[in-house]
Amino acid sequence: LKQLYDSFILYPKAVSQLAKTVLSPITHARNFISAGAFATANGLIPGLTISPDDAISAWKEAYRALQVPGARMANTRYRELLRLGVVNNNVRLGDLQKLLKDVNFGEAFDSTKALRGMMRPLSKAKKWTEDMYTAEDDFWKISSFALERLRMKKAYEKYGMKFTDELLDKEAANIVKNNIPNYDMVNGFIKDLRQLPFGNFVSFPAEIYRTGFNIMNQAW
C-alpha cells in the first residue's frame, strides 16, 4: 500500500511542486522579491529606517558571501553564517527536498546504464536550480543579518555598552532565524504534513504565522 501511495499520490505531487518552484523562472523571481519583502517587514527600509549607504554595504556583503552555483567555492563567512543558522534554510525548498527524498525521486530510473545517462542531465539541472533558489533566499537573509548587526552595534555604541563581534553575530542571527521563515525552525509535525495528498508547502504558512508573531512582538 505504501508503494502504491508513494507512486500514485506522493510522486505526482513531488513532480508538480518541482515544476512550480525550482524549475519555474517566474517562481524564482517571486522567491527573490518575497524574500526581500521580509526585510521590509522587519523595518529594514533604505532611506527610511536605514541609510542608503548602509543598505548598499549590506548588499555588497551578502554578494561576497553568497554561494552562486558554479561561480565560487564555499567561503569562511558563509560557513560561519551556516553554523549560525542564517542561510541555506529556504522553507519551500526544504519541503520539496524532503518530499523528493520520501519518494526517492530519480532513483527508480537508475536500473539501467542507459536510463542513468538520461537522468544525469536532469539531476544536474535540478541541482543548479535548487542552488539558485537557495541563493535568492540567502541574499536577503545575509543582508538582513548584516543590517541587524549594524543596528545593534550602533545602539551599543550610543549607550556606551560593551560588546563583542561574537555577541553581535549571535543576536543578529537570532533575529533573522526568528523573524524570517526558516525551515530549520519548523516542528516535525508540520514537516510531516507534506506526505498528505492535499496541501502544498505546508511549512511556509506555518512560518508566516510564527515570524509574523515574532515581528510584532519585537516591534512592541
Nearest by Cα to 92 from 123, 126, 130: 130
State the pLDDT confidence band at 112, using cuts at 50, 70 and 90: very low
Global confidence as pTM: 0.81
Nearest by Cα to 140 from 25, 24, 38, 26: 38
Task: Please give the pLDDT value at position 144.
Answer: 96
Q: In this structure, are residues 180 and 42 in contact, taking their beta carbons and an 8 Å threshold?
A: yes
Task: Please give the pLDDT value at position 69.
Answer: 62
State the pLDDT confidence band at 197, using cuts at 50, 70 and 90: confident
Residue 140, pLDDT > 90, answer yes
Query: What is the mean pLDDT of the segment spanning 27-52?
Result: 92
CA distances to 78, 135, 197, 198, 214 from 13, rounded to whole Å, are 33, 24, 8, 9, 32
